Amino acid sequence: MSPANAPSASTSTDTPALPLAGLRVVEFTHMVMGPTCGLVLGDLGAEVIKVEPIEGDRTRFLLGAGAGFFPMFNRNKKSIAIDLAQPEGAALARQLAGTADVVAENFKPGTMAKYGLDYASLSATNPRLIYVTHKGFLPGPYEHRTALDEVVQMMGGLAYMTGRPGDPLRAGTSVNDIMGGMFGAIGVLAALIQRGITGKGQEVQSALFENNVFLVGQHMLQYAMTGQPAAPMPARISPWGIYDVFTVKDGGQIFLSAVSDAQWVTFCDALGFADLRDDPRYASNNLRVQQRPALLPLLRERLAARPAAELAALFERVGLPYAPIRKPEELLDDEHLLATGGLADMTLPDGPRAGQTAKATLLPFTLGGQRLGVHRDPPRLGDATSALLTELGMGPAEQERLRQARVVA
């Protein structure tokens, strides 16, 4: 393994090393899926070296919904810019990959082999190498297809389940890209454990389509269990009597639920609905499910004059599940996230706000009671090129020659 990342200035000498400190990851990734894998490994303490084209990963420059891709998925990484299309660049990338414990990639099939950067080529000289590849499809009839998150959501049943009947709708975030990268990281962690036992590395594969199928597996098994196809979520038969979004006073919206018989009694008592609590038609959850077509309109009518904030305070007080309807930008000021360290400051590397500070969401778990933070800002393009070339034995003159030839940047 390579030397561990240097700790951040705020790291105490008493702070335990991160779990993957000393592990070197070289990633040839772009967009979201592959970078997510590197993000997870980097947050866990690995030294992650991102190999970019000399013009930079194109997600650095995306607009609109893609503007947050690069800073979100590339913190805790170093950057080296190499032109793989030049034979000297490909050779340099192979040399760098030879220093790695883990190589990660998410390019179309055949791309890495063209540069001698595929698993077969690299593992021939480094049998301990763990190589994680992120694809649209695992090997099979579909593997030649170009996949996107939206493509697999459509063909994998998720868009059907999310939208209204006849109106398939992709989920509002890159669920398969992100989870596909997470499953790639899980595979790497398993392979690291096995390497510790056998001394040998292996190839790990993660794919968008198979990830999506895993997500809808509960609906597939619903059909297997009941013989009834799962309906899209907006038209589903809910398993819970009260489990819905209510539009209330001044157009406010709030999600309210009562998923057990005890919660139903609390719900009715808190809202002053004794008549509903004592009505035998609503005596059990399954009865309330059967009565939803009549019960929900009645509740909507009764709740329409009450402000969402009042209902939230009431449900908070009696311990019932509820949720305000929030926008992503509102979470930047969420009191729970701020109080629990769920957001961390980092410096933006590109775009109109380059050099300014923004809050980043952290991995959603703790180790030893601590959240894993940002110990390295998202990298500027080629911020580690010189240091890595020096490590590979190249002096200043050779480095300048490579820059002049546009092999590196």
What is the set of active-site residues? 177
In Å, how far from its chain's centre is CA 350? Answer: 21
Rounded distance, CA 101 to CA 112, Å?
Answer: 17
**Bridge partners, 344 (sequence order):** 360
Of 143, 44, 89, 45, give the one whose Cα is nearest residue 382. Answer: 89
Query: Are 98 and 121 within 8 A, CB to CB?
Result: no
Question: CA–CA distance from 130 to each of 31, 188, 189, 201, 228 (Å)?
Answer: 22, 7, 10, 5, 43
How would you label 308-332 residue by residue, b for 16+ Cβ within 10 Å and e otherwise? beebbebbeeeebebeeeeeeeeee
Contact 78, 50 (CB under 8 A): yes
According to DSSP, the β-strands at 322-324 and 370-371 are: unpaired
E-assigned strands of 208-263? 242-247, 253-258
| CA–CA dist 122, 96 (Å, integer) | 11
- Whether 38 and 48 have beta carbons less than 8 Å apart is answered as yes
- The tokens for 189 are 């962690």
Measure the CA–CA gap between 280 and 163, rounded to whole angstroms.
Answer: 34
Q: DSSP assignment, residue 147?
A: -
